[in-house]
Amino acid sequence: MQNDIALFSELCDELFKEETNQPVANPISTSDLYQKLDLSLNGNGLIDEDLKNILKDIIKSTPKTASKSFFNQLFGGRIGKATLGDLLAVMFNNSMYTYKVAGPQVGIEKQVLKNICKLAGYSKNSDGTLAPGGSMSNMMALIMARDAKNKSIRAEGLSKPMTLYTSAASHYSISKNAALTGIGKNQVRLVNTNNKGEMLAEHLEQLIKDDISKGLEPFFVNATAGTTVLGAFDDIDAISQVCKTYNLWLHVDGAYCGGVIFSNKYKHLVKGLENSDSFSVNAHKMLGTPLSCSIIVTQHKDQLHHSFSNEADYLYQTDGDDFNLGKTSLQCGRRNDALKLWTLWKSVGTKGLEKIVDKQFEMAQIARDYINNNDDYTLYSFDNSISVCFNYKGISANELCTALYENSELMVGFGTFSNTEFVRMVTINSLLEKEDIINFFKTLETFVGAHLLKNVTT
């Protein structure tokens, strides 16, 4: 193992070098992949030297999500102390289901959950767990809401249609989860948004009333803190009023931007969060930990237990339920996703996490200012969002993003809202500085000047 650690360290050096020298890896087309890289698995193994060389080839052509040219997704960058925690978790190789097997790691997870509950403004009855990602966190919320509405569903299954509500701008996992949980995709009502992508509470109420008048059973509302395209925040206060009137479970999907709970400057964006029933946040997005680190908390500890616990004599042999975390998780064996957030949090403090979040908004403002001061750009996103959506010289966003990728210039994606397609630049890498943001635009402009404009008919 010592040799492998040394090899790992050598490979990391190689990766760091590549991230600087070739921040956007030359993409290999899918049809060439198995010719260009030896990914084959064979009867005979390789000597270490050959394995190392293949790994180096793979490092070269793997997309560099921690580079300064990566703006493509709702994660990016690499924060050392968080990565350290994840590497340690791999070495420990505990499974989080019991205290017997995970020991202090259970305490670490519980501490993270407790502090997140507190920041969310949740009561003493709150608890939570870590799920394999934001989609699964949303599914856990949906299951708790379903079971809270009707206690017998866990045993008997659904007996009548139940309806749920989420905005048209929300994440696709809501309708996917409706399918997975037996609720049915057709029972998902898409609530209209305003031009900023924020859910309209009046329309929500109207949809609920319509369903009640048809004899259906509304049970769940999903509000989003940071919609996937525009990065918009639904008005939790207004939505929670509606939920209270009709006795519906309110979940706040903060996978993308729920991290604002750490920021005194931006936590107003989730005002009213303390009135929600559950809340999820992906630390691997705004807080910059490695994937995955998705946290779901609820004010109804009993419900979490009711929906997810199962007796299993072969597993739970010591200690109480409070320390046997398998009683409240989706999985049985479960990797330790809490440690990477804990090592980061412990090392920089809550104040350091606040800085990480604030930095992203600061970088987004720099990007918006640049766009607003340059007539060649049109801005489509709004203040208080770290998704900066724009078009340049009327060039198709799809074509532009694809060309930037194929020519190894920049990794950035595109999105659509109200039938308009635009580039979506995400300033989620808190290690970036102003010059990196300006450099993004300069790279784009130089590239368009040299390659693309001749193809554009305006």
Ligand X SMILES: *Cc1c(COP(=O)(O)O)cnc(C)c1O
Q: Give residues in contact with ligand X (CB under 6 A).
A: 74, 133-135, 138, 171, 173, 224, 226, 228, 253, 255-256, 282, 292, 294
* Structure tokens that stand for 368 in this block: 């918006």
- Given the complex with ligand X, which of 140 and 444 has the nearer CB atom? 140
Residue 220 host element (H or E): strand 217-224
Least distance in angstroms from the C-beta of 247 to ligand X:
25
Q: Evaluate the omega torsion of the peptide bond into residue 385 and state whether it is cis, within 30 degrees of 0.
A: no
Render 274-307 in DSSP notation, one character per residue. Answer: GG-SEEEEETTTTT-PSSP-EEEEES-HHHHHHH
Identify the DSSP state of 193: B
CA pair distance 103, 153, nearest whole angstrom? 34
- Given the complex with ligand X, which of 428 and 444 has the nearer CB atom? 428
Least distance in angstroms from the C-beta of 137 to ligand X:
7
- Given the complex with ligand X, which of 15 and 74 has the nearer CB atom? 74
* Structure tokens that stand for 330 in this block: 């989706």
Q: Evaluate the omega torsion of the peptide bond into residue 292 and state whether it is cis, within 30 degrees of 0.
A: yes
CA pair distance 261, 354, nearest whole angstrom? 8
Least distance in angstroms from the C-beta of 320 to ligand X:
30
* Structure tokens that stand for 402 in this block: 């694809």
- Given the complex with ligand X, which of 74 and 338 has the nearer CB atom? 74
* Degrees to nearest 5, angle at CA 150 with 144 and 153: 80
- Given the complex with ligand X, which of 121 and 415 has the nearer CB atom? 415
Least distance in angstroms from the C-beta of 170 to ligand X:
7
Asked if 211 and 189 count as a contact pair (C-beta separation under 8 A), the reply is: yes
- Given the complex with ligand X, which of 294 and 427 has the nearer CB atom? 294
Residue (of 287, 238, 229, 289) closest to 263 by Cα position: 287
Nearest residue (beta carbon) to ligand X: 134
Q: Which residue has the tokens 């992203």?
A: 360
